[in-house]
Amino acid sequence: MSTESNAGKSPLDYAKWLLAAVFFAAAVWGNYHYTEIGTLYRVLGVVALMLISAGVALTSSQGKNFLQLLKEANIERRKVVWPTRQETTQTTLIVVAVVIFMALVLWGLDSLLGWLISLLIG
């Protein structure tokens, strides 16, 4: 690890990650250990513990950086210009036509080579 990545980590961040790992492990252990409890309650317990674990992890400096990354990715996603229905249909038809054409070319080439090999072998 570089010194830059270690510079932003504080002991509190390590404690937060440890606590998040404890909540995660508790969710896994509880789901495995309490099989006699109804599935709905186990699922609710696992989801609650996972959300708590994620919440604790997101309060660390790395978690905050991750949230910032998600916000920036969402901004970039909004900038995407999606094709119209007509463009999508035309592109799809071109792809299907090229696939069919190439399939016929490869089938013809395979048949020709098979015929030539059968003449050669006898």
Query: CA-to-CA distance for 92 and 73, rounded, in angstroms?
Result: 28
CA quadruple 62, 68, 72, 78: dihedral positive or negative?
positive
Q: Where are the domains of the chain?
A: 1-80, 82-122
Q: What global pTM score does this model have? A: 0.55
Per-residue pLDDT of the chain (122 residues; tens, 9 = 90+): 444 555 557 888 899 999 999 999 999 998 898 888 888 999 999 999 999 999 999 999 999 999 999 999 999 999 999 999 999 999 999 999 999 999 999 999 999 999 999 999 97
Q: What is the pLDDT of residue 2?
A: 46
Q: In whole angstroms, how far apart are CA 66 and each of 62, 72, 112?
A: 6, 10, 57
Among 66, 63, 32, which Cα is nearest to 49's? 32
Is residue 44 within 8 A of residue 35, CB to CB? The reply is no
